[in-house]
């Protein structure tokens, strides 16, 4: 197959085109001097994005499995976490960790707060995604494993989770893009992310149309990269399975 | 080998096994037939400990399956006891239930490595021999999605045999298959019965196969054995009116 006709390549080309267009726009409109500032902003946005993803991807399966298979105390703890972080706004969560915790003697770096709050927020949604995917694996798989004398945790690790994983990848793609967009909130707890830098440059240059068009293109390019990554994962994870792309 | 001693199983208000008494001798091949909802699949599921029984005791190899002796009485068994008892039994399902993310060979190796703790090489060899036995040596690296139904079911049989159970349970193993694919699976079961010392229980709608292969046929109705006997005798001269009606209906249908 021609490499450029592969849909994943098209995503990569589209993402690069977004970045190139953003750079061309900056150069053509006298904003070239601001590019290093924007790049630093992108660096902060990407750091929060990766850190938050890592937190979410670890927390979500743990919360989901606690809710599904934990004893009653652990189950209620997991439900409490999931409902609290799904049911309140991400901005309030950021403020709470940043402005309220110091009143209880806990002061955290802004970057730590950003990664923790957004990671836990997306992790709470992710927990429901994981739970749904685990429950979507047919009961016959559990029964077959039980007939082979596998324990519950062996069945989960070896049989159920590998199949659930494939089912949940598309939903995770959505969540990670949500996370990317939510990173724009961190400017409100003093972090100089891409959105913050854009506002600064806008105030200095008053080139509102150009500045926010550039930022729009950069966010779009980043989210296309996330989509690309998830498609690759999906392709690899579904190898041999009779669903989704692959084989 | 297996003794159902007054076993009762209820789902809510529905009684699926009603004080069932059933004794199965070592190496005996028993076919279980009957209308749907008569409790025949539940017999296998209870024996595989997939369904909990509400009353009575199932004895396997002289030991209670889901109970343990304590003092003079019996108490519900712990996980360790269940695992030990389960290792004597293998089961093949109507819908195969192969692990779709593993090749045929990996399906057969999984429990050998994880449950028995065999070294990978030894597991690979044993799994390969079993796949060869069911005629799938050339398919060992295929994923289930790329195998026909009959091939998948033969992998499932090999997988169940890998743990060397004394008792094999077959739950309508050909019901999801085309007649043509049916024959290849029944061929494997026939061969198994001939070449191995296995106690076999099968729930089946294949009356022809039951008549020719089974030592004994049990006809289930409403959670009890309504009639049983040596296979040929049972099919040639059914005594009960309910049995006759059932057999007539099955013969008409197929």
Inside any domain, residue B94: no
Mean pLDDT on A127-156: 96
- Rounded CA-CA distance B114/A146 in Å is 12
Q: Quick one: pLDDT band at residue A9, thresholds 50, 70, 90?
A: confident
Name every residue whose Cβ is closer than 8 Å to that of residue A186 and which is 6 or more positions away in sequence: A44, A48, A94, A110, A114, A118, A193, A196
User: What pLDDT is stored for residue A245 in this prediction?
Assistant: 37
Q: Are residues B116 and B81 in the same domain?
A: no
Sign, Cα dihedral of A136, A142, A144, A148: positive
**Are the CB atoms for B249 and B205 separated by under 8 Å?**
no
Structure-block tokens of residue B57: 């005791």
* Shortest CA gap A157–chain B (Å): 11
Q: Are residues B151 and B50 in the same domain?
A: no
Q: Are residues B175 and B154 in the same domain?
A: no
- Rounded CA-CA distance B36/B205 in Å is 10
- Rounded CA-CA distance A227/A222 in Å is 9
User: What pLDDT is stored for residue B252 in this prediction?
Assistant: 83
Inside any domain, residue B95: no
Q: Quick one: pLDDT band at residue A236, thresholds 50, 70, 90?
A: confident
pLDDT digits (tens, 9 = 90+) for B111-166: 999 999 999 999 999 999 999 999 999 999 999 999 999 999 999 999 999 999 99
Q: Measured between CB atoms, does B106 come within 8 Å of chain A?
A: no
Q: Are residues B63 and B186 in the same domain?
A: yes
Residue B15's CB: how many other CB atoms inside 10 A?
16
What whole-number percentage of chain A has pLDDT above 90?
A: 84
Give me Rg for the CA atoms of chain A.
21
Beta strands in chain B (DSSP E): 2-11, 14-24, 29-33, 55-60, 63-64, 67-70, 73-76, 89-92, 167-171, 199-203, 216-221, 224-230
pLDDT digits (tens, 9 = 90+) for B50-78: 999 999 999 999 999 988 888 888 888 88
Q: Are residues B159 and B169 in the same domain?
A: no
Inside any domain, residue B172: yes
B interface mutation test: which of A137, A141, A144, A155 has the most B CBs within 10 A?
A: A144
Q: Which ipTM was obtained for this model? A: 0.93
Q: Quick one: pLDDT band at residue B92, thresholds 50, 70, 90?
A: very high
The DSSP output letter for A148 is: T
pLDDT digits (tens, 9 = 90+) for A20-79: 999 999 999 888 888 999 999 999 999 999 999 999 999 999 999 999 999 999 999 999
Query: B34: domain range?
Result: 2-88+165-253
- Rounded CA-CA distance A69/A152 in Å is 10
The last residue of a domain, from among B164, B186, B202 = B164
pLDDT digits (tens, 9 = 90+) for B219-233: 999 999 999 999 999
Inside any domain, residue B93: no
User: What pLDDT is stored for residue A244 in this prediction?
Assistant: 38
Mean pLDDT of the residues in chain A: 91
Q: Are residues B64 and B116 in the same domain?
A: no
- Rounded CA-CA distance B96/B174 in Å is 10
Q: Are residues B81 and B143 in the same domain?
A: no
Q: Are residues B154 and B170 in the same domain?
A: no
* Shortest CA gap A143–chain B (Å): 7
Q: Quick one: pLDDT band at residue A4, thresholds 50, 70, 90?
A: low
Q: Are residues B237 and B182 in the same domain?
A: yes
Structure-block tokens of residue B247: 């057999």
Tell me the residues of A at the B interface, defined by beta carbons under 8 Å apart.
138, 140-141, 143-151, 154, 158-159, 162-163, 166, 240-242, 247
pLDDT digits (tens, 9 = 90+) for B173-215: 999 999 888 999 999 999 999 988 999 999 999 999 999 999 9
Report the candidate in B157, B156, B137, B86 with the shortest Cα–Cα distance to residue B115. B86
Q: Quick one: pLDDT band at residue B82, thresholds 50, 70, 90?
A: very high
Q: Are residues B132 and B34 in the same domain?
A: no
Q: Are residues B52 and B159 in the same domain?
A: no
Chain-chain contact of B91 with A147 (C-beta, under 8 angstroms) = yes
- Three-class secondary structure of residue B115 per DSSP: coil
Q: What is the CATH number of the domain that holds B214?
A: 3.40.50.300
Inside any domain, residue B38: yes
Paired residues of B7 in beta bridges: B20
pLDDT digits (tens, 9 = 90+) for B157-166: 999 999 999 9
What whole-number percentage of chain B has pLDDT above 90?
A: 83
User: Is residue A81 predicted with pLDDT exceeding 60?
Assistant: yes
- Number of folded domains in chain B? 2
Task: Give contacts of A159 with chain B, Cβ < 8 Å.
Answer: 99
Inside any domain, residue B227: yes
pLDDT digits (tens, 9 = 90+) for A192-213: 999 999 999 999 999 999 999 9
A interface mutation test: which of B97, B169, B172 has the most A CBs within 10 A?
A: B97
Which of residues 67 through 86 in chain B touch A, CB cutoff 8 A?
A: 79, 83, 86
Chain-chain contact of B49 with A149 (C-beta, under 8 angstroms) = no
The last residue of a domain, from among B164, B198, B213 = B164
User: What pLDDT is stored for residue A7 in this prediction?
Assistant: 67
> First and final CA of chain B: distance in angstroms?
34
Size of interface A-B (CB pairs under 8 A): 70
Q: Are residues B178 and B248 in the same domain?
A: yes
Instruction: Give the closest of A141, A148, A247 to B115, CB-based.
Output: A148
Q: Quick one: pLDDT band at residue B83, thresholds 50, 70, 90?
A: very high
The last residue of a domain, from among B115, B147, B164 = B164
């Amino acid at each position: 197959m021609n490499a450029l006709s592969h849909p994943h390549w098209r995503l990569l080309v589209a993402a690069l085109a977004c970045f190139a267009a953003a750079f061309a726009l900056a150069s053509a409109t006298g904003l070239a001097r601001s590019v290093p500032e924007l790049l630093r902003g992108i660096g902060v946005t990407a750091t929060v994005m990766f850190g938050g993803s890592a937190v979410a991807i670890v927390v979500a399966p743990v919360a989901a499995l606690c809710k599904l298979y934990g004893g009653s105390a652990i189950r209620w703890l997991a439900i409490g976490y999931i409902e609290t972080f799904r049911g309140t706004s991400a901005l309030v969560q950021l403020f709470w960790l940043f402005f309220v915790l110091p009143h209880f003697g806990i002061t955290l770096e802004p970057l730590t707060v950003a990664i923790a709050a957004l990671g836990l927020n997306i992790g709470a949604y992710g927990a429901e995604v994981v739970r749904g995917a685990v429950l979507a694996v047919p009961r016959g798989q559990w029964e077959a494993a039980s007939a082979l004398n596998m324990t519950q945790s062996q069945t989960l690790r070896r049989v159920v989770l590998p199949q659930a994983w494939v089912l949940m990848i598309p939903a995770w793609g959505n969540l990670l893009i949500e996370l990317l967009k939510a990173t724009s909130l961190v400017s409100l707890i003093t972090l100089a992310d891409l959105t913050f830098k854009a506002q600064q440059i806008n105030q200095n240059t008053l080139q509102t149309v150009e500045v926010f068009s550039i930022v729009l293109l950069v966010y779009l390019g980043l989210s296309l990269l996330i989509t690309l990554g998830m498609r690759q994962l999906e392709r690899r994870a579904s190898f041999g399975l009779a669903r989704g792309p692959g084989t | 080998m297996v003794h159902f001693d007054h076993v009762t199983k209820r789902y809510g208000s529905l009684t699926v096994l009603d004080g069932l008494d059933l004794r199965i001798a070592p190496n005996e091949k028993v076919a279980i037939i009957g209308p749907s909802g008569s409790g025949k699949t539940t017999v296998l599921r209870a024996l595989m400990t997939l369904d909990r029984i509400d009353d009575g005791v199932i004895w396997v190899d002289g030991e209670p399956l889901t109970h343990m002796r304590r003092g003079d009485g019996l108490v519900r068994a712990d996980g360790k006891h269940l695992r030990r008892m389960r290792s004597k039994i293998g089961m093949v399902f109507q819908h195969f239930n192969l692990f779709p993310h593993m090749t045929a060979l990996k399906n057969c190796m999984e429990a050998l490595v994880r449950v028995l703790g065999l070294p990978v090489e030894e597991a690979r060899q044993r799994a390969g021999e079993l796949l060869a036995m069911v005629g799938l040596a050339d398919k060992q690296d295929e994923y289930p999605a790329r195998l026909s139904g009959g091939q998948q079911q033969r992998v499932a049989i090999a997988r169940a045999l890998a743990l060397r159970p004394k008792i094999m349970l077959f739950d309508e193993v050909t019901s999801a298959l085309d007649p043509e694919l049916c024959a290849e699976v029944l061929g494997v079961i026939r061969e198994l019965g001939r070449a191995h010392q296995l106690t076999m229980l099968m729930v089946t709608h294949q009356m022809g196969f039951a008549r020719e292969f089974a030592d004994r046929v049990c006809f289930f109705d409403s959670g009890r054995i309504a009639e049983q006997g040596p296979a040929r005798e049972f099919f040639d001269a059914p005594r009960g009116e309910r049995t006759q009606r059932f057999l007539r209906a099955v013969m008409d249908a197929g």
